[in-house]
C-alpha cells in the first residue's frame, strides 16, 4: 500500500518522465520514487531470473530490489515522495542495454556523401536527436558513439541529453576518429582536391607520432570521453586502399600512450590482421570489427585484456546493401562483399577462445533503432542468449568503465531497465520488441507498443 500523502502521478507522469531525464546524474526532484513491479526480473544477466520482483528507484538510483509485488512503505519519508508506478507484472524485465559502437550523427544511404556536403551542423544535430531517440526506444539506455565527422555535434548532443534538453540514451562519445591522411576516418577522400580546407591533427587527421599526440589531445580538449583510432582501412570509406594496417606501430603507440595518460580508453577500428595485432600490442582497450583475426590475435586479446566488439550487424547490412545497384561506391561494394562472409566465422573463433566480447552494432551503418538485431547474429555465431545479453550489459559496462553505474539492476546503480513480453534467454529476438524503457528511473517510452 502507498501512503495517502504520496502524490500519485497521473497527468503529471509524462511531464515528470521528460523533466527527470535531467536526473541522469543530478536528480531534478529531491524525493522522487519510481516503483517498478516486474512479472519476471533478470537483475544480473548470467544469474537466474526471479518471478514477482519490485525494483525501487529513488532519484534515479536503484534503492532496493524486493521479493514480491507489495510495498515499499514510504510512510515515514521526511519529504513527501513523488511516486511513479511502472506496472510490468506481465513482462520480463532486464537491465538497460548498452551498444558499444554506434554513430548517432549519421545513417548510411546512397545520398549520404552529398548530404554531408550540404547539410549544416545544426541540421545534422537535429537529425541526430531523432536517431538518438530511436536507440533509446529500442532499449539501449547507453551507447558509445565511435566517431563523427562533426565532433562538436556529437559532443553537444551528449551534453544536451545529459542536461535533459533532448530525450536519448546516455552517450559516451569519441568526437572525431583519429585517422591517417586518406585513411578510413578521412571524410575528404574521394572528393576533388581543393574542395576542403587542409586536414589537420586538430580535425582528427594525423600522420606521424607527433601529430597523433596532438590529435588525441585535441579531441580530449573538445570533450571526448574515449579515443577512436582507425588502425586499418574500412569498408565504407571511399579509399581504394584495402583493409590492411594504416597506422604504423610508432603512431599507434603515440595514440594509446597519450590517451591513457589523459585517462581515456582507446577503441581501434581494425579489419586486417596486421592492424588488429598491432593495435592490441600498442595497448588499445577494444578492437572494433576484428574481421581477419587469427590465433595470434586471440592470444593478444586474452593476454592484454582487450575487448572485442564484433559488429556483426554492420557486416550483414553492408553485404545486403552491396547488392543494391548504386547504394555504395564500386570500391566500397567490393570491400563489403569481402568482409561479410568472414564475420560470423571470426565471431565464432573469438567467442570459443574466450575473448571478452562487448556488444556493438556500428548502428548508423544499419538503421538506428534496429540495434537489437545483433543479438540473433551473436546466437547464430555460437553464443547462448544469456551470453549475448551479458555482452550487452555487464561486459559492455566494463569496457566503458561504467560497471559501478550500469549493466545490472542492483542497489546503488542507475535505474536503467527495459521490459519485453517473452523470455529473451529462450528467444533472444524478444529484445527486438522492447515494450518499456526506464532510464535513470524515468519511463521514456510507452509501456506497450505491440
Ligand atoms: Zn563504426
The Å distance, Cα 340 to ligand 1 centre, comes to: 15
Residues of the chain with CATH 2.30.40.10: 7-96+409-443
pLDDT at site 26: 55
The Å distance, Cα 196 to ligand 1 centre, comes to: 23
The Å distance, Cα 362 to ligand 1 centre, comes to: 5
The Å distance, Cα 285 to ligand 1 centre, comes to: 16
The Å distance, Cα 108 to ligand 1 centre, comes to: 11
The Å distance, Cα 85 to ligand 1 centre, comes to: 38
| Right CATH for 97-399 from 3.40.640.10, 3.20.20.140, 2.70.150.10, 3.40.50.300 | 3.20.20.140
Report d(CA 84, CA 184) in Å as an integer: 47
The Å distance, Cα 20 to ligand 1 centre, comes to: 31
CATH code: domain 7-96+409-443 is 2.30.40.10
**Contact (CB, 8 A) for 157 and 135:** no
Name every residue whose Cβ is closer than 8 Å to that of residue 289 and which is 6 or more positions away in sequence.
269, 270, 271, 309, 310, 311, 314, 339, 362
The Å distance, Cα 18 to ligand 1 centre, comes to: 30
Collapsed DSSP state (helix, strand, coil) of residue 381 = coil
| Residue recorded with cell 551507447 | 143
Q: How far is CA 385 from CA 70, 335, 359, 419, in A?
A: 31, 30, 12, 16
Which is nearest to 445 in space by CA: 413, 419, 411?
419
pLDDT (tens digit, 0 to 9) for every residue of the chain, 450 residues total?
Answer: 444 444 444 333 444 444 444 445 554 447 999 999 999 999 999 999 999 999 999 999 999 999 999 988 888 888 888 999 999 999 999 999 999 999 999 999 988 888 989 999 999 999 999 999 999 999 999 999 999 989 999 999 999 999 999 999 999 999 999 999 999 899 888 899 999 998 999 999 999 999 999 999 999 999 999 999 999 988 887 777 778 899 999 999 999 999 999 999 999 999 999 999 999 999 999 999 999 999 999 999 999 999 999 999 999 999 899 989 888 888 888 888 888 788 999 999 999 999 999 999 999 999 999 999 999 999 999 999 999 999 999 999 999 999 999 999 999 999 999 999 999 999 999 999 999 999 999 998 664 444
State the pTM of this model: 0.91
The Å distance, Cα 444 to ligand 1 centre, comes to: 27
**Contact (CB, 8 A) for 176 and 182:** no
Q: DSSP letter at 303?
A: H
The Å distance, Cα 147 to ligand 1 centre, comes to: 7
Residues of the chain with CATH 3.20.20.140: 97-399
The Å distance, Cα 368 to ligand 1 centre, comes to: 13
The Å distance, Cα 371 to ligand 1 centre, comes to: 13
Helices (H) and strands (E) in the chain, counts: 13, 15
pLDDT at site 215: 98
The Å distance, Cα 365 to ligand 1 centre, comes to: 7
The Å distance, Cα 145 to ligand 1 centre, comes to: 8
The Å distance, Cα 142 to ligand 1 centre, comes to: 16
Report d(CA 128, CA 134) in Å as an integer: 10
Torsion of CA 262, 267, 271, 277, to 10 degrees: 50
The Å distance, Cα 248 to ligand 1 centre, comes to: 21
pLDDT at site 212: 98
The Å distance, Cα 177 to ligand 1 centre, comes to: 10
Report d(CA 118, CA 164) in Å as an integer: 29
Which is nearest to 86 in space by CA: 443, 449, 448, 450?
443
The Å distance, Cα 101 to ligand 1 centre, comes to: 6
3-state helix, strand and coil shares in percent for the chain, rounded to the nearest 5: 35, 20, 45
The Å distance, Cα 250 to ligand 1 centre, comes to: 23
Amino acid at each position: 500500500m502507498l501512503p495517502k500523502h504520496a502524490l500519485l502521478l497521473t497527468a503529471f507522469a509524462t511531464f515528470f518522465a521528460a523533466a527527470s531525464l535531467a536526473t541522469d546524474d543530478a536528480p531534478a526532484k529531491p524525493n522522487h520514487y519510481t516503483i517498478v513491479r516486474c512479472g519476471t526480473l533478470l537483475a544480473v544477466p548470467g544469474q537466474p531470473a526471479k518471478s514477482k520482483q519490485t525494483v525501487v528507484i529513488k532519484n534515479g538510483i536503484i534503492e532496493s530490489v524486493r521479493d514480491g509485488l507489495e510495498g515499499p512503505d514510504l510512510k515515514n519519508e521526511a519529504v513527501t515522495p513523488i511516486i511513479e508506478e511502472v506496472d510490468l507484472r506481465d513482462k520480463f524485465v532486464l537491465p538497460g542495454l548498452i551498444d558499444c559502437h554506434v554513430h548517432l550523427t549519421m545513417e548510411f544511404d546512397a545520398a549520404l556523401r552529398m548530404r554531408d556536403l550540404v547539410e549544416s551542423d545544426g541540421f545534422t544535430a537535429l537529425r541526430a536527436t531523432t536517431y538518438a531517440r530511436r536507440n533509446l526506444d529500442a532499449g539501449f539506455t547507453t551507447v558509445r558513439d565511435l566517431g563523427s565527422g562533426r565532433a562538436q555535434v556529437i559532443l553537444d548532443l551528449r551534453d544536451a541529453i545529459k542536461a535533459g534538453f533532448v530525450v536519448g540514451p546516455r552517450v559516451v562519445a569519441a568526437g572525431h576518429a583519429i585517422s591517417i591522411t586518406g585513411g578510413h576516418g578521412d571524410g575528404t577522400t574521394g572528393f576533388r582536391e581543393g574542395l576542403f580546407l587542409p586536414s589537420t591533427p586538430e580535425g582528427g587527421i594525423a600522420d606521424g607520432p607527433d601529430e597523433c599526440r596532438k590529435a588525441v589531445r585535441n579531441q580530449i580538449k573538445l570533450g571526448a570521453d574515449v579515443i577512436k583510432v582507425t588502425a586499418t582501412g574500412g569498408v565504407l570509406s571511399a579509399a581504394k586502399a584495402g583493409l590492411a594496417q594504416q597506422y604504423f606501430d610508432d603512431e599507434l603507440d603515440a595514440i594509446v600512450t597519450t590517451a591513457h595518460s589523459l585517462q581515456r580508453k582507446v577503441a581501434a577500428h581494425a579489419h586486417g590482421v596486421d592492424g588488429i595485432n598491432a593495435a592490441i600490442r600498442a595497448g588499445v582497450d577494444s578492437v572494433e570489427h576484428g574481421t581477419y583475426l587469427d590465433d595470434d590475435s586471440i592470444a593478444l586479446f586474452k593476454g592484454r585484456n582487450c575487448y572485442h566488439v564484433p559488429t556483426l550487424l554492420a557486416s550483414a547490412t553492408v553485404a545486403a546493401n552491396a547488392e543494391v545497384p548504386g547504394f555504395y561506391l564500386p570500391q566500397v561494394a567490393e570491400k563489403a562483399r569481402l568482409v561479410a562472409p568472414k564475420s560470423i566465422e571470426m565471431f565464432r573463433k573469438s567467442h570459443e577462445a574466450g575473448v571478452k566480447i562487448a556488444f556493438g552494432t556500428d548502428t548508423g551503418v544499419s538503421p538506428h533503432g534496429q540495434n537489437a538485431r545483433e543479438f540473433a547474429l551473436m546466437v547464430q555465431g555460437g553464443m547462448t542468449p544469456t551470453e549475448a545479453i551479458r555482452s550487452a550489459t555487464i561486459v559492455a559496462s566494463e569496457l566503458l568503465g561504467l560497471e559501478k553505474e550500469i549493466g545490472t539492476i542492483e542497489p546503488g546503480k542507475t535505474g536503467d531497465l527495459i521490459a519485453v513480453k517473452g523470455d529473451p534467454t529462450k528467444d533472444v529476438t524478444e529484445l527486438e520488441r522492447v515494450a518499456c524503457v526506464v532510464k535513470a528511473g524515468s519511463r521514456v517510452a510507452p509501456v506497450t507498443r505491440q
